[in-house]
A and B are shown apart, each in its own frame.
Chain A
Amino acid sequence: MADIELLAASGAETAAKIKSGELSADEVLAFWLDRAGRDRLNGYLWQADRDSARQGLGEGGPLDGVPLAIKDIFCTEGVPTTAASRILGGYVPPYTATSVRKAMAAGMPMLGKTNMDEFAMGSSNENSAFGACLNPWDTERVPGGSSGGSAAVVAGGLAPWSLGTDTGGSIRQPAGFCGIVGLKPTYGAISRFGMIAFASSLDQCGPLTRNVTDAALLLNVLQGRDEMDSTSVGIEGGIKAPDAERLDGMTFGVPRALMGEGIEAGVLARFEDTLIRIAELGGEIVDIELPHAGHAISAYYVLAPAEASTNLSRYDGVRYGLRASNEDLLSMYEVTREDGFGPEVKRRIMLGTYALSSGYYDAYYGRAQRVRTRIVEDFEKAFGEVDFVVTPTSPTVAFKLGEKTSDPWTMYLSDVFTVPISLAGVPAISIPAGLAEPDGGGSELPVGFQIAAPAFAEQKLLEASYALEQAIGFDGSAALEGGVS
């Protein structure tokens, strides 16, 4: 098999060829190790070597031999895990996250640990303590975030597929920016054990893949109740590879009110094209209301920082990671955290600390929780009327490096369509809907189309996405050579 075919092959295709004997797991691994070694996107923070990646290989797991890139937020025994933060520089966990363990048990060698926004806080991967990651479609642009590395390596031909995490859009938005598929499952579908926490009530693991079938295969391996995570439940019956060709009888709700200003013309055009594809496949488009979704970003930026402020308190220099001062207890805390955390992480810790302070709790956290409850109800009501809710994944295509770093609020708005779904806890996928020019011109870049479904309706979501994916026929191969030097 020619290298170019292996490069373009999906995870499922490669797995099938290894099973049939057409390819050996060793040769597949060697190919991907070589690709990853030529990373010019700063997509990887750590890369496996032949020996470390071979653990568990060839034991006949369902996805035996197809290497997996893993966001550096998942703890991996014996392998550095930093969450792209200086405060965890050099930290090597003594245990492996449940999701990674399951992936390895299915036969997938770990290819490397991918770049990300520090502690998953960001929408551009520019908040990494170890440098920004670049978009393989245009290396002057961001890959999105926070799972920017996981999206860039898959789109840029540095990995066949990857694991990411999504708190307010951190899988879907970078998948959209990089022209690949990104799935955020229902909260509780996949164990969070071993995933470094950002906002515990929102964080969820999910796959970033070349196509919908790969997303289904990975989800099936990853999902399940885990005794180590009290909030995990799994997906009853597991997940099968989707095969739907039509969307007859299915209704797709469009929350038009949410799609006001700030959406690029090209993004809107691809979105409308995709609605037409849905109608051609027999699906019905209806307008719906999500009356409280407009407040989602405000609520999210109280709730997520509040949880983050307590989740990140453990990085205190006492037991592991950076210890920047030994003077006395207070200076150990202060200097360690001052030196160890980047500006966006500090901003969110301060926001969250303030929101939880005595006397402010009800005005901020309590109120944000009530907004969240209303948004949950909005989605429940919507799913009483339609099968899916669809939006663009992001209001823009990938923006330029540095374009939004000085204006956090504009950066936060890039998650305006993904955050309401995160607050509702329901599953959503971003699939490539084609290419579009950014406002102000320039070469065409991928546009993501987001589909959300009721809780634990992942199979239905994947079937619809698969049918639509076939109809759209997106070709991401232009970026496959964008990742290597």
Chain B
Amino acid sequence: MSTEYEAVIGLEIHVQLSTRTKMFCGCELSFGDDPNVHTCPVCLALPGVLPVPNAQAIEYALQIGAALGCELSPVSTFDRKNYFYPDNPKAYQITQAARPFAVNGRLGEVRIHHAHLEEDAAKTIHTGGGGRIKGSDASEVDFNRGGTPLVEIVTEPDLRSGAQVREWGQLLRATIKQLGVSDVNMEEGSLRCDANVSIRPVGSTEFGTKTEMKNMNSFRFIERGIEAEVARQKEVVASGGQVVQETLHFDPATGELHSLRSKEEAHDYRYLPEPDLVPVVPTPAMLEEAASSLPELPAARAARYEGIGVSEQAALLLSFELEWAGYFEGVLAADQSIEPRVAANWVTGEFAAELRKQDDQALADSKVGPESLATLIGLVQAKKISHGAGKTVLEEMVASGTDPVTVVAEKGLEQIADSGELEKIVIQAIEDNPKPAEQVREGNEKAIGALVGAVMKATQGRADGGEVNRLLRQHLGL
């Protein structure tokens, strides 16, 4: 029997902090501005300059550490990580290697090894030659991004599949987004993820040789990249080979993996304690502030929603996006008689679908406030209108912002409350559709659908489905 292998995956996630200024100088953070307009002697590493740490970045970092359940270090220090590249103007990056600001955390099922503060590199642009340095005509450097504060989060190797990485990554992104300390936009690079991937026989506790996958810019690509790499490693081992330590790039367009550098080409970073900076020693007040300023985080929020009866899927959807959670809670607050499960289904189901359908509206731009949606749900719940009519009303609400009561009145969608009136329509429907009526009487209950449809058509959807069913069965002698 052949050995079964499992994947062992650890992540290194870089989060750009949305502070006002850079990590070690007063230049403003920016995205998409003209090249090299947000620079100064410090972030250009001119001779004689010194770094000055950004207090806001330290606060934000401590919040991330607290949100990840880490121990916040009473003393953390900065180190120099040395390597030559034009996007690294000092030829060293200031980072925290020996004593990071946060250690030993956990988010969901994944343990956090540590989180540390550092500065981002500038951006190198290779002109001509397909955007790579090899074969390019020239290389240009834009230092606007250089020195942006970064928190790097390093997990333990606790993940086992690409899909798990995607799901956990989304939880991490939602968690940090909720702190308001980063845009966590993967396409713009404010959240970047490297994955260390190895395989081992199921049941083994040893680690195999890992490869590192660099800088993938969506969790979908990461999932696919990891799956491709795990498959590749399994193939290597199955054919009697050995996995070689290397750094890989996954091309989502072709699905191919390319080697960026081997172990032999790996840098010796010659770490050195940064003599230009004093240790970061958070005061008790700063630590207290980091912990107490935490909002309700996605994992806790999802658990709370499930606790009040919301389905797991809707609970996760609502928890990952703070504005949707806020909207959902607005609906509940507007009408306390609405069951959370029903409200959650309307918000994440019909309402979200309608926004997508109508020009992919953003929630923030929607003309339908949570109170209006609550009114609509109330109308359906009180059987003033049918569920089907409710959808018609919602379509109009999303399009024009008209309140649901007005839409119902204007369109005459109010449910037929008089059962005598409905009974007449039911009898008429049986008469007009003798064939399905006969089939039902002969025991084919499925045929009743055609009769329900006829009643609904005649009432323009204003009839209560349950009541229609009851009357039909009564008159068909069931």
Q: Is A89 an interface residue (CB 8 A)?
A: no
Task: List the A residue with the shortest CB-CB distance to B24.
Answer: A230
Beta-carbon contact of A227 and B52 below 8 Å:
yes
Q: Does B86 contact A (CB under 8 A)?
A: yes
Supposing A231-B276, A310-B92, A313-B90 touch, asked if A319 and B270 sit within 8 A by C-beta, the answer is no
Q: Report the minimum CB–CB distance from A381 to chain B (whole Å).
A: 25
- B50 interfacial contact with A, CB 8 Å: yes
B residues less than 8 Å from A309 (CB atoms) = 82, 270
Residues of B145-198 contacting chain A, CB below 8 A: none
Closest to A369 in B: B273
Give the distance in Å from the alpha carbon of A165 to the alpha carbon of B232 in the complex: 58
Q: Name A residues whose Cβ lies closer than 8 Å to a Cβ of B.
A: 74-75, 81, 83, 88, 91, 93-95, 97, 192-197, 199-201, 227-231, 306-307, 309-310, 313-314, 316, 318-320, 329, 333, 353, 356-358, 361, 365
Which residues of chain A have C-beta atoms less than 8 A from B82's C-beta?
A: 309-310, 313, 356
How far does the alpha carbon of A353 sit from the alpha carbon of B270 in the complex, in Å?
7
The segment from B12-20, B39-47, B340-348 found at the interface with A is B39-47
Q: Is the CB of B272 within 8 A of A314?
A: no
Among B237-270, those with CB < 8 Å from A are 268-270
A310 near B270: Cβ-Cβ < 8 Å:
yes
B84 x A333 contact (CB < 8 A): yes
With A91-B47, A93-B46, A193-B48 already in contact, the answer to whether A200 and B275 are too (CB < 8 A) is yes
Contact residues of A: prevailing secondary structure: loop
* B270 interface neighbour in A75, A194, A314, A356, Cβ under 8 Å: A356
B129 → A minimal CB distance (Å): 12
- The 4 nearest A-B residue pairs measured at CB: A313-B91, A201-B275, A356-B270, A200-B275
B residues less than 8 Å from A75 (CB atoms):
46-48
Can you show 6 pairs from A to B with CB atoms below 8 A apart?
A75-B46, A88-B47, A193-B50, A200-B276, A309-B82, A319-B46
Partner of B48, one of A194, A230, A358: A194
Q: Does B80 contact A (CB under 8 A)?
A: yes
Residues of chain A within 8 A of B91, CB atoms compared: 310, 313-314, 316
New A-B contacts (19) at CB < 8 Å, excluding given A93-B41, A228-B50, A310-B80 = A75-B46, A75-B48, A88-B47, A94-B46, A95-B41, A194-B49, A197-B48, A200-B276, A201-B275, A230-B50, A306-B272, A310-B91, A310-B270, A314-B90, A319-B89, A329-B86, A356-B82, A358-B270, A361-B271
Output the least CB separation between A225 and chain B (Å): 12
Of the residues A196, A228, A310, A361, contact of B47 by C-beta under 8 Å? A196
Tell me the complex Cα distance, A361–B97, Å.
Answer: 14
Q: How far, in Å, is B77 (CB) from chain A's closest CB?
A: 12
| Complex Cα gap A83–B47 (Å) | 10
Q: Does any Cβ of A come within 8 Å of B401's Cβ?
A: no
Give the nearest-CB partner of B81 in chain A: A310
B50 touches A229 (CB 8 A): yes
Task: For the complex formed, measure the closest distance between the CB of B292 and the CB atoms of chain A, giving whole angstroms.
Answer: 28
Q: Which of B45, B47, B53, B86 has the most chain A CB within a 10 Å cutoff?
A: B47
Asked if residues B44 and A319 are in contact (CB atoms below 8 Å), the reply is yes
Q: Decide if B416 is an interface residue (CB 8 Å cutoff).
A: no
Q: Nearest residue in A to B82 (C-beta to C-beta)?
A: A310
C-beta contact mask, B22-54 vs A, less than 8 Å → 1, else 0?
000000000000000000010011111111110
- Say yes or no: A357 contacts B139, CB within 8 Å: no
Docked pose: A193 CA to B348 CA in angstroms:
56
Which residues on A sit within 8 Å (CB–CB) of B322? Answer: none
Q: A95-B41, A319-B89 are in contact. Are A313 and B84 (CB under 8 A)?
A: yes
CB-CB under 8 A from B52, the residues of chain A are 227-230
Contact B49 A193 (CB under 8 A): yes
Contact of A356 with B271 in the complex, beta carbons under 8 Å: yes
Q: Give bound CA distance, A93 to B80, whole Å.
A: 24
Q: For the complex, what is the distance from the CA of A196 to the CA of B47, rounded to whole Å?
A: 5
Q: Please report the C-alpha to C-alpha distance between residue A245 and residue B17 in the assembled complex, in whole angstroms.
A: 59
Q: Does B133 contact A (CB under 8 A)?
A: yes
Complex Cα–Cα for A229 and B48 (A): 11
In the complex, what's the smallest C-beta–C-beta distance from B338 to chain A, in angstroms? 56
B51 touches A230 (CB 8 A): yes
Q: Mark B205-222 against chain A: 1 for CB-CB distance below 8 A, else 0.
A: 000000000000000000
Residues B48 and A195 in contact, CB atoms below 8 Å apart: yes
Known interface pairs A310-B82, A314-B89. Does A93 touch B276 (Cβ–Cβ under 8 Å)? no
- A130 CA to B74 CA in the complex, in Å? 49
Q: A259 to B48, alpha carbons, bound, how many Å?
A: 36
B141: Cβ under 8 A from any A Cβ: yes
Task: Say if the beta carbon of B333 comes within 8 Å of chain A.
Answer: no
- Chain A residue contacts of B51, Cβ below 8 A: 230
Q: Closest B-chain residue to A94, C-beta based? A: B41
Complex contact B89–A358 (CB within 8 A): no
Partner of A356, one of B84, B141, B272: B272
- Set A74, A91, A193, A319: member contacting B45, Cβ < 8 A: A319
**Shortest CB distance A129–B (Å):** 15
In the complex, which of the residues B86, B92, B272 has the most CB atoms of chain A within 10 Å of its own CB atom? Answer: B272
Smallest CB–CB gap between B208 and chain A, Å? 23
Contact A231 B278 (CB under 8 A): yes
